[in-house]
Structure 1
């Protein structure tokens, strides 16, 4: 079909053969495609959303709680922005020794544009780390991570691919894959939207460390959110220009995970305002008696909050074991920040304390940084 003012393309020499093949398979493919189109239309009428990936199921919790943010001792991060578009940055990270972690140094570099992210680093002991993300389209992303150790048998390679459908996400991941014998640890996860608020899925792990050993286990997942914003989907389109359901940012999110061992993890996150987030994490630890130790039936609940001020971010949390922690990141200028981290475990009568600084310099002018979105222009008088 041609648009107004456009001529129909002239038939090629293969057109009669293509028409013959189409007519041959039409009685079989026609009913299948009609059934699929009706099923797809039925799902669209339900108002289903794009639920995100299983990997990011508890991403909001990790942004609030201190597991990925707290530190002990003293640290300093010095970074230099070489370019803003494409982004290229060099980082030097120093950490002084503490009671649980020795002193360390890490040199890193990051390169990123709209489709590609390349990140690498090397520490003082010679361990090399790398990460690469490639966005092929609005629905497909490939990720590669690797670590090279100077000791045999400790290096790691991980390859992952995420496919985001209109109402589901499918992820395939493999760690240290063996190309000839299929050994390694392989992951398959699927999360599908069942209603505008509920998504269900699973994650299966196939452990194949040796050709003679094969173990599988499956976790079951659920995600419940507030009602989606009907205008969120209008902001995303596919490469062909068609509307594409995009992940939205709900006011609250609840997740649950049933692990193969019978343990349960449940989380709840709520955005109270534009600057205040609260998060709750509940985990059980049920372990039968074995050669590894006695039986355990425990549970821990962790509650935390994050406050974003104009030039500072504060995180605080407390758990059912009596552990209280906090992290304050105070940014005095866009290029200098000071951090304080602390934790007190009342049940064990122990404490941890850390201080750190972050310094960032750039070879770019102020006008270039504003154009790249790295600085907010200050209005004139």
Structure 2
């Protein structure tokens, strides 16, 4: 496969059409002779580098945002809630997907939210409204091609400083992922919080990357900070390597290139403050996942307080049963917790969870229900895959 630079060089080297030879040929030849000595070595170098990566078996490493996604999906602390909760959802249409959700929560903070979801092959829209505060949240994802997706998030709030707008773009290459993101950007003076992140495979098992943050509260401010990333995984099998080299099938929906899914993965992130976050995820079987998260908290002495050196390690496991999901977690601070999601029918689920803090001698508990209803007939639900056939 020829590279873009090689194609451009060949195009420049092509002779001009005969009918315009007496006008454009001298100028074309001059420009070609001028550019060719520079374009040809660059094109050849790019081609050799691309072929080397393909021969070495590099895979798609995933995005920086998804670096710890498997760990977060396993740990209970990301799903735990306190008090009572009820989610009532109604599926209006399966394709394109349109769903309305009413969420109720009782506890230290009681509230009600109304949410809607619309999705098709390339577009995802989500909105949420909180009548008690008047706050509105929205999220939109648009997939342009197999390697490009744009995401927009917004939040409107009556509380000062809580209104937010965020726009980002993901470009997913065969062996790398690039993300550009801005929070509350101002196109007039360039203020805002800007992120640039890149992760690239350097071997079939190792990927390295960085995430740079540029903070500009005023046009004269320029405060950069860079984190360094590492991801080390199990070896991909031959089928995964072959699949990563295949182009998208013609006629299929345009979705970003799927990253390699390892049986285990270890990640590390060195933050600008000197803190380190390290994670480990292992898929023991199709039904059992385990995850470990370690975070250091190093704070030098300052006017805000004395020096602090601390660390927190969390170990969790997730068990997938036929109609239930169980998560358990323990950490070095003395907390032990569990969360059970029991689905009695495809449309009804019961949740119960608890957490005990032995160091502080406190506890928290939560119960909830999730109910889904649909305007479709049972035959339509079976055809859509929402319920198993009888």
* The two structures share one fold, judged by TM-score above 0.5: yes
The separation in 1 between residues aligned to 2:293 and 2:94, in whole angstroms, is 37
The residue matched to 2:37 in structure 1 has which SS? Answer: helix
Q: 1:158 aligns with which of 154, 166, 171?
A: 166
Give the conservation status (yes or no) of the 8 Å contact 1:137–1:239.
Answer: no
Q: What whole-Å deviation, never above 9, does each CA across 1:297-352 have from its counterpart, x for those lacking one?
A: 00111000000000000000000111001100000000000000111000011110
- Counterparts in 2 of 1:215 and 1:15: CA distance versus 1, 3 Å: farther
Q: State whether structure 2 residue 72 is matched by structure 1 residue 62.
A: yes
Match of 1:42 in 2: 52
The separation in 2 between residues aligned to 1:134 and 1:13, in whole angstroms, is 45
C-alpha RMSD over aligned residues: 2.1
Q: 1:247 aligns with which of 259, 266, 273?
A: 259
Unaligned runs of 5+ in 1: 1-10
Correspondences of 1:66-77 after superposition (within 5 Å)? 66-77=76-87
- Counterparts in 2 of 1:13 and 1:239: CA distance versus 1, 3 Å: farther
Number of aligned residues? 363
Q: What whole-Å deviation, never above 9, does each CA across 1:40-89 have from its counterpart, x for those lacking one?
A: 11111111111011000000010011232000000000000000011000
Match of 1:3 in 2: none
The separation in 1 between residues aligned to 2:101 and 2:230, in whole angstroms, is 38
- Counterparts in 2 of 1:275 and 1:239: CA distance versus 1, 3 Å: closer
The separation in 1 between residues aligned to 2:18 and 2:71, in whole angstroms, is 60
Correspondences of 1:303-318 after superposition (within 5 Å)? 303-318=315-330
The separation in 2 between residues aligned to 1:289 and 1:111, in whole angstroms, is 50
Q: 2:92 aligns with which of 82, 86, 98?
A: 82
Deviation at residue 140 of structure 1 after TM alignment? 0.6
Q: 1:190 aligns with which of 198, 204, 211?
A: 198
Correspondences of 1:288-327 after superposition (within 5 Å)? 288-327=300-339
Give the conservation status (yes or no) of the 8 Å contact 2:340–2:353.
Answer: yes
Match of 1:146 in 2: 154
Match of 1:117 in 2: 124
The separation in 1 between residues aligned to 2:204 and 2:197, in whole angstroms, is 20
Match of 1:6 in 2: none
The residue matched to 2:78 in structure 1 has which SS? Answer: coil
Q: What whole-Å deviation, never above 9, does each CA across 1:157-180 have from its counterpart, x for those lacking one?
A: 011111111111110000000111
The separation in 2 between residues aligned to 1:144 and 1:74, in whole angstroms, is 31
Deviation at residue 27 of structure 1 after TM alignment? 3.5
Give the conservation status (yes or no) of the 8 Å contact 1:92–1:107.
Answer: yes
- Counterparts in 2 of 1:15 and 1:105: CA distance versus 1, 3 Å: farther
The residue matched to 1:81 in structure 2 has which SS? Answer: strand
Unaligned runs of 5+ in 2: 1-15, 251-255
Q: 2:181 aligns with which of 165, 170, 173?
A: 173
Correspondences of 1:1-381 after superposition (within 5 Å)? 20=28, 23-24=32-33, 25-98=35-108, 102-124=109-131, 125-235=133-243, 237-238=246-247, 246-378=258-390
Match of 1:8 in 2: none
The residue matched to 1:27 in structure 2 has which SS? Answer: helix
TM-score by length of 1: 0.91
The separation in 2 between residues aligned to 1:116 and 1:14, in whole angstroms, is 48
Give the conservation status (yes or no) of the 8 Å contact 2:62–2:259.
Answer: yes
The separation in 1 between residues aligned to 2:222 and 2:93, in whole angstroms, is 48
